[in-house]
Chains A and B, each alone.
Chain A
Amino acid sequence: MHELSIAESIVDIVRQHVAPDRLCAVRSVGVKVGAYSGVVPDSLEFSYQAITSGTPLAQSMLALECIPFVVRCRQCSRESANADGIILCSACGSFDTIILSGRELQMKEIELEDMAPEHVHPEQP
């Protein structure tokens, strides 16, 4: 269950980018999760809900973009998307490949609701 500590890292990064009084406007947090990043998407979503409930981020949700595992062959330069995480080239059978994607665990974006007009210039009457 390292998804819990990964969810905590995500919340930390959100807090570094969004002012405390704007946290309640966060609607979604986009994260790229590779098929072989070692992270279970469902359990990451569950962990995020668990640690944000009762906080200003309670209204936000994780938007996970699952990235397939893709290798490029160094022999025939074709690409294979291998659901099983094996680095085999499905075109020519070579194992001499480089991993193009599927290992990432990367922040993408934070979506916020626009400020209500009375909040835009709080110093004005």
Chain B
Amino acid sequence: MSVLTIERKVLEKNDDVARINRGVFAANGLFVVNLVSSPGSGKTSVLEQTVGYFGSSLHVAVIEGDCHTDLDAQRIAKFNIPVVQIVTNGGCHLDAKLVNDALPAFDLSLADLLVIENVGNLVCPANYDLGEAMKVVIVSTTEGDDKPLKYPGMFHNSSVLIVNKMDLAPYVNSNPDVIKANALKINPALKIFETSCTTNQGIPEWCEWLRSQTKKYAV
């Protein structure tokens, strides 16, 4: 037997393209967020609230990732902002190449913020760097307060946690403080927002924080 020693990351090809994406984003002074959660936690809803909040005061562009259909892109297109749907045809995550392929559809120099809504999945997207500045993970109060402990990988990799559906917490026996404490056990550096897309709770705080981040990345 002969043995070849190979010290390479398995996903280095993805990481190479992610690096290219990151360069493009930096050149355009663009702040890029990779929005991840289980299906139905409220990624598209939070995005609708966010885009609605900013109106014309911030230029937001959106990439929607879904296994099938462009329904989420249709929801965002109602706000008259640039949006591209990536359909993964069953694929459980976006990768850097899919995002790179979508970029020519935008005039990135006109945008301040690009939000990439990943495919609903708390496992696979953790492995794939898209070139984003940070991952934002959403957990809703209806999913069980121990969710962060069950999917630590995603919480390790994210910089921001949004606890969504705060309006439903009393009805589903959820204690948002427990969700937060569990998430901080995995990643004490998480910045946390508590939101509701029905009452608008927490949306202004989240949006103003986003706005402050875009200023850091602007050229």
Please, how many angstroms separate the alpha-carbon atoms of A13 and B13 in the complex? Answer: 9
Q: Report the tally of A-B residue pairs with Cβ distances under 8 A.
A: 97
Q: Which residue of A lies closest to B90 (CB)?
A: A1
**CB-based contact A84/B4 at 8 Å:** no
B10 CB contact (under 8 Å) in A88, A99, A107, A114: A107
CB distance from B112 to the nearest CB of A (A): 31
Q: How large is the interface on A (under 10, 10 to 19, 20 to 34, 35 or more residues)?
A: 35 or more
Chain B contacts for A106, CB-based, 8 A:
7-10
B186 CB contact (under 8 Å) in A31, A86, A107, A113: A86
| Residue interface bits B110-130, CB-to-A below 8 A is 1, else 0 | 000000000000011011100
Whether B105 sits at the interface, judged by CB under 8 Å, is no
Please, how many angstroms separate the alpha-carbon atoms of A2 and B14 in the complex? Answer: 13
**CB-based contact B156/A10 at 8 Å:** no
A86 CB contact (under 8 Å) in B10, B123, B152: B152
Whether B89 sits at the interface, judged by CB under 8 Å, is no
Q: How large is the interface on B (under 10, 10 to 19, 20 to 34, 35 or more residues)?
A: 20 to 34
Q: Which residue of A lies closest to B6 (CB)?
A: A107
CB distance from B125 to the nearest CB of A (A): 8
Please, how many angstroms separate the alpha-carbon atoms of A110 and B14 in the complex? Answer: 21
| Residue interface bits A2-13, CB-to-B below 8 A is 1, else 0 | 100110011011
Chain B contacts for A108, CB-based, 8 A:
5-7
CB distance from B94 to the nearest CB of A (A): 11
Whether B133 sits at the interface, judged by CB under 8 Å, is no
Please, how many angstroms separate the alpha-carbon atoms of A110 and B2 in the complex? Answer: 8
**CB-based contact A2/B92 at 8 Å:** yes
Given A10-B10, A95-B184, does the pair A36, B1 have CB atoms closer than 8 Å?
no
Chain A contacts for B124, CB-based, 8 A:
1-2, 38
Please, how many angstroms separate the alpha-carbon atoms of A107 and B28 in the complex? Answer: 34
Chain A residues proximal to chain B, CB less than 8 Å: 1-2, 5-6, 9-10, 12-13, 17-18, 27, 31, 36-39, 84-88, 95-96, 99, 103, 105-114
Chain B residues proximal to chain A, CB less than 8 Å: 1-11, 13-14, 91-93, 95, 123-124, 126-128, 149, 152-154, 156, 184-188
22 contacts between A and B (CB under 8 A): A2-B123, A2-B127, A5-B95, A6-B10, A12-B13, A37-B153, A38-B153, A86-B149, A86-B185, A95-B184, A96-B188, A103-B153, A105-B9, A105-B127, A106-B7, A107-B8, A108-B6, A109-B6, A111-B2, A112-B1, A112-B2, A113-B1
Give 11 A-B pairs besides A6-B10, A110-B3 with Cβ atoms closer than 8 angstroms. A1-B124, A2-B123, A10-B10, A12-B13, A17-B4, A36-B152, A36-B156, A86-B186, A106-B9, A108-B7, A112-B2
